[in-house]
Amino acid sequence: MINFKSILTLFPGFLLLGCGGDDDTMVEPFSASVSIALSPESVEEGELAQLVFTLSETNTSGSPLAVAYAIDGSASDNDFTSLTGTASVPVGEATTGITIATIDDDAIEQTETLAISLDADGTAEGLSIGSPNSVVLTIIDNDEPTPTEMTLITISTESTSVQEGQSTTVTVALSRANATGSPLSLSYEVSGTAISGEDFNELSGSVEISAGSLTAEFTVEATDDMLMESAESIIISLSTGNLPENFSLGDSDDVTITIEDNDISPDAITISVEASSTGLDENGGTTVTVSLSRANDTGSPIEVVYDLAGTATEGIDYEMLPGSVTIANGEQNVTFDVIGIDDSQSEDDETITIELLTQGLPQGVIIGMPASVELEIMDDDIVLGACSGTTDTYSIDLDPTNCTVDIEAVLGINSSYSEQVSGNSRIITTNAIPNHNVGQFPNMGNPHTITEINSTYNISTSPTANSTVTLLTNTNTGAPLFRFGVLYNGILLAPIAAEFFTNTQTGSDNTDWNENALSSEISLGTDCNNSHVFPSGMYHHHATPSAFIASMNIDGSTPVQIGWAADGYPIYYKYGNKNGSVVELTSGYQLKTEERGGDGISAPSGCPDGTYTQDYQHISGLGDLDECNGYQDPVLGYIYVITDTYPSIPRCFVSTPSNDFRNN
């Protein structure tokens, strides 16, 4: 007897289609090789590149085929928009593409690379890796340094504490790449309680940063000995000597590395120091605690002497300290207060370093970890410079004729909007497709494609004002928390951008400063409707929806409602009733008149110019509208108003917004 099950097990490509001899047919599984290509191979920040995956045969497998790829190179996630690691070749096609959108930032940095290679793991069965199997995208920085711009030099360490016999890496960094055209030699000084050549290997006293580079590193190696001793410190301070023109030391101009002994006897008592808070105001204080590793069992009081250092001056910036504390027999710790002295002088924040000393300690009692604590006295007399005549970079496009893409025709989908009232609820249904021309997407600043997204919004038909307003932003993270409302064509109003000021040294976001999507200093790829596309594919407005307004033929003869806010109040376009006439209502916002107060590294500096939403302030009585761009119309009641000046779309609600408009 023939065992067909065994035959199928041995030959999985063999399929029995019939019972007759000549009707049997062999069906081969789909197979092809896949290759990868890239165009162009080199781009500047903010430009696009196209990845193309090509099969050697048209996909006739009957289902889409996955192609996996791996990502490597010197570029980080901050240099390009997220890539998923897979692509899909549709049925009946031999190619598929992915757009790589590089990110334009303000950092001065070296040319970076994004290496992409085909990965057999995750690639569909039947597809083999062909040639070429990898590509490299070169990302060229476009932020040329200004010759007069100051380059800041900082120092940091991989670890602030090492044991004897261990090492740590120290990094000296520039705020922008070395553009001097030659290696930059920077000197440093070494101090502290540790002895060079005895407690750690001698250091050269200088470091060299190559032309075009941002950093240089050197290693600090602690020496291992057989002595039981207290923790010792190495202080490495950058020197201002021989600095080139336009180079200066940054805030982090020294590091302290503590060498921790590895020969401590189990019977030894170690002493450490800490503070309840490392920051104190001029008119405030903090508590410092000196602790033993166990209660004092020496039979006598232990006097612990400490040294005071830092940029603050004892008796001027903080109250005098005795320089030692005594821990009674049977006790384990003692505390003392450091009290700041308030003055009226505007000055930089100052530091106090309290370092425990070995002086006079009895046998068997040594300094442990941490052996020192640094406190910062924060000045409360900062005087910001006055700003006037600053050019506002916030600009609204009011000419919709530059948008030429008929998105309904491109997608073959008509815009859809409907609403119905049920009890106290207004239920709005939309597919998020605009009923007017739009700009080209993806584009240089926005890599997303408009997609149909069916949504339902449930809002109140009888809103009432609360005692406090609700912001569109999350008060903790600064991120967009709510979309403001929806137009009569189903498109969302979402004025808050999810981009922030970026720390020029760490690359982290300062969420206190939201970038303004319509500032000329920001490139977020908005079209002539002041709109762009979420990663989800949803098209939305950041300011005046120019094409939609044009389609409604609003001429200013009468107020015209254009949509609904998330809290249930109506939205009108710029016109309202006032003193018996229909007039263009004005916003009460203007640029702030004081400098931002940041250092330009962790927070923006200079005069407010509209680059950030926090550059503006609302002044009651300056215009017709309140802080939420709302207006108590004598005929219509309370309405929200979209204006052609900042903020255009309101940034807060007077009533409670529907959670259907919450940012997911």
pLDDT score of 333 more than 50 = yes
Phi first, then psi, for residue 492 (nearest 5°) are: -75, 150
- What band does 396 get if pLDDT is binned at 50, 70 and 90? very high
What's the CATH code, domain 151-260?
A: 2.60.40.2030
- What band does 12 get if pLDDT is binned at 50, 70 and 90? very low
Higher-pLDDT residue of 474, 431: 431
SS3 string of 387-404?
CCCCCCCECCCCCHHHCC
What are the extents of the domains in the chain?
32-140, 151-260, 269-378, 400-661
Residue 264 is predicted with a pLDDT of 72
pLDDT score of 1 more than 80 = no
Count Cβ atoms below 10 Å from residue 597 Cβ, excluding itself: 13
Task: Say which residues have a Cβ less than 8 Å from residue 611's Cβ, sequence separation at least 6.
Answer: 393, 515, 516, 519, 521, 522, 604
pLDDT score of 575 more than 60 = yes
pTM of the model: 0.48
What is the four-CA torsion angle of 86, 91, 94, 100, rounded to 10 degrees?
Answer: -30
- The separation between the first and the last C-alpha atoms of the chain, rounded to the nearest angstrom, is 64
pLDDT score of 7 more than 70 = no
CATH of 269-378, one of 3.40.50.720, 3.40.47.10, 2.60.40.2030, 3.30.750.24: 2.60.40.2030
Residue 146 is predicted with a pLDDT of 53
pLDDT tens profile 112-169: 899 999 999 999 998 999 999 999 998 988 876 555 567 889 999 999 989 989 999 9
Residue 212 is predicted with a pLDDT of 87
Report the range of poorest mean pLDDT among 174-188, 373-387, 442-456.
373-387
- What band does 27 get if pLDDT is binned at 50, 70 and 90? low
Long-range contacts from 177-182, C-beta under 8 angstroms, 24+ separation: 177/108, 177/109, 177/110, 177/145, 177/212, 177/213, 177/214, 178/209, 178/210, 178/211, 178/212, 178/213, 178/214, 179/108, 179/145, 179/211, 179/212, 180/211, 180/244, 181/211, 182/211
Instruction: Average the pLDDT over 386-392 and give the result.
Output: 84
CA distances 426 to 42, 434, 453, 570, Å, are: 52, 21, 20, 12
Instruction: Average the pLDDT over 279-295 and give the result.
Output: 91
Residue 148 is predicted with a pLDDT of 53
- What band does 230 get if pLDDT is binned at 50, 70 and 90? confident
- What band does 384 get if pLDDT is binned at 50, 70 and 90? low
Instruction: Average the pLDDT over 490-515 and give the result.
Output: 93
Core vs surface per residue 362-372: b (16+ CB within 10 A) or e: eeebbbbbbbb
Instruction: Average the pLDDT over 276-303 and give the result.
Output: 91
pLDDT tens profile 167-197: 999 999 998 888 888 899 999 999 998 999 9
Q: H/E element holding 409?
A: helix 407-411
pLDDT tens profile 397-428: 999 999 999 999 999 999 999 999 999 999 99
The per-residue DSSP string of 38-61 comes to EESSEEETT-EEEEEEEESS---S
Instruction: Average the pLDDT over 267-283 and give the result.
Output: 89
Q: H/E element holding 549?
A: helix 546-551
Higher-pLDDT residue of 549, 251: 549
- What band does 638 get if pLDDT is binned at 50, 70 and 90? very high
Q: What is the CATH architecture of 32-140? A: Sandwich (2.60)
pLDDT score of 13 more than 70 = no
pLDDT score of 505 more than 80 = yes
Count Cβ atoms below 10 Å from residue 299 Cβ, excluding itself: 8
pLDDT tens profile 70-120: 999 888 888 888 888 999 998 888 888 888 988 888 776 778 899 999 999
The beta strands (E) that lie in 468-534 are given as 470-471, 485-487, 492-493, 500-502, 509-514, 531-533
Residue 17 is predicted with a pLDDT of 36
Residue 263 is predicted with a pLDDT of 73
Higher-pLDDT residue of 251, 5: 251
Tokens (6 digits) for 333: 């710790």
Report the range of poorest mean pLDDT among 11-15, 130-134, 313-317.
11-15
pLDDT score of 301 more than 80 = yes
Count Cβ atoms below 10 Å from residue 117 Cβ, excluding itself: 16
Indicate the pairing of strand 254-260 with strand 232-238: antiparallel
Q: What is the mean pLDDT of the chain?
A: 89
Residue 618 is predicted with a pLDDT of 94
Instruction: Average the pLDDT over 560-572 and give the result.
Output: 98
